[in-house]
Amino acid sequence: MTEHPTRSVIVAADAEALSRQAAPYIAQTLAAAAARGTCAVALSGGSTPRRTHELLAAPPLCDTVPWDRLHVFWGDERCVPPDDPDSNYYMAYETLLSRVPIPARNVHRVPTEAGPPVAVAAHYERELRGHFGLEVEDLPIFDLILLGMGPDGHTASLFPGGAAVDETRRLVVPSEIDYMPHPRVTFTLPVLNAARAVAFLVAGRDKAPALARALAGDPGVPAGRVQPTAGELRWYVDRAATGQ
């Protein structure tokens, strides 16, 4: 594990080991936040979190999280129905939310049925503002945001060269990239960087070039621009993603 003032990089042998290291940290972070009242977490999509979700949903970790005090959001979502296999919500429901005693009212999925992406983004921003009680210039303070990273260095749905990555005023915006099959909505960088803790889960040799650039803080890689201003940043990566 390498250390920076606000960043840790934890290298695991493989994707399974990555999940087994990340899951206890996530459970501990959620439990500590909930002990102060309620806890707000934002989940990510992709394939890497699946195993981590399964570990969180099973003993012994599931018994350490006060699920009734947890509020779940998503850092981004594809504009597909909630039961579509490509839905980030659907993946989380299958692997985690359907297996733990979290109240339905505490699950704040992105309302992809609300209309075109611009309307979906506006709706979800209102949801954030209402839940966190935000004034116009305020940012939501998540206790934990989970993120992944694509081979191109995108995180959430902030893609290299996309307009969303440079947004500074809105909390949630549409994101459409030609080479992705679905339009999306995403949290913006100010929301990600306001969190108390951010954890990346990154696995696979195809991520190695982007990971090196992100860890070097390359602004051309959106994941490298996630630098919580007053929070903790952890990168859980497997050895393949480091290029080893």
Sheet containing strand 144-147, strands side by side: 2-3, 7-12, 232-238, 197-202, 144-147, 39-43, 70-74
Closest CA to 87 of 121, 44, 125, 124: 44
Determine the Cα–Cα distance for residues 73 and 131; give it in Å rounded to an integer.
Answer: 11
Task: Specify the pLDDT at position 4.
Answer: 46
Q: Which of 133-142, 175-184, 225-234 has the lowest mean pLDDT?
A: 175-184
Cβ–Cβ under 8 Å, residues 202 and 214: no
Per-residue pLDDT tens for 2-54?
444 478 999 999 999 999 999 999 999 999 999 999 999 999 998 999 999 99
Instruction: Annotate 61-83 with DSSP letters as a single string.
Output: GGGGS-GGGEEEEESEEESS-TT
CATH code assigned at 226: 3.40.50.1360
Confidence of residue 1 (pLDDT cuts 50, 70, 90): very low
CA pair distance 135, 156, nearest whole angstrom:
24
Per-residue confidence (pLDDT) for residue 12, from 0 to 100 = 98
Q: Which residues pair with 197 in a beta bridge?
A: 232
* Residue 155 φ then ψ, to 5°: -140, 150
pTM of the model: 0.96
| 174, containing H or E segment | strand 172-175
Instruction: Specify the pLDDT at position 244.
Output: 82
How many structural domains is the chain composed of?
1
For residues 192 and 70, give the distance between their C-alpha atoms in angstroms, rounded to a whole number. 18
Give the pLDDT confidence score for residue 178 in this predicted structure.
75
State pLDDT tens for residues 170-224.
999 999 887 777 899 999 999 999 999 999 999 999 999 999 999 999 999 999 9
The Cα–Cα gap between 243 and 231 comes to 28
| Structure confidence by residue, pLDDT tens digits, 151-173 | 999 999 999 999 999 999 999 99
Report the run of H or E that residue 55 belongs to, with start and end.
Answer: helix 49-56
Residue 63 domain boundaries:
2-242
In three-state secondary structure terms, 238 is strand
The pLDDT assigned to 218 comes to 94
Between the CA of residue 26 and those of 158, 198, 208, what are the distances in Å?
A: 23, 10, 24
Compute CA distances 111 → 76, 131, 189, 220, whole Å.
11, 15, 21, 30
Question: Per residue in 65-108, pLDDT tens?
Answer: 999 999 999 999 999 999 999 999 999 999 999 999 999 999 99
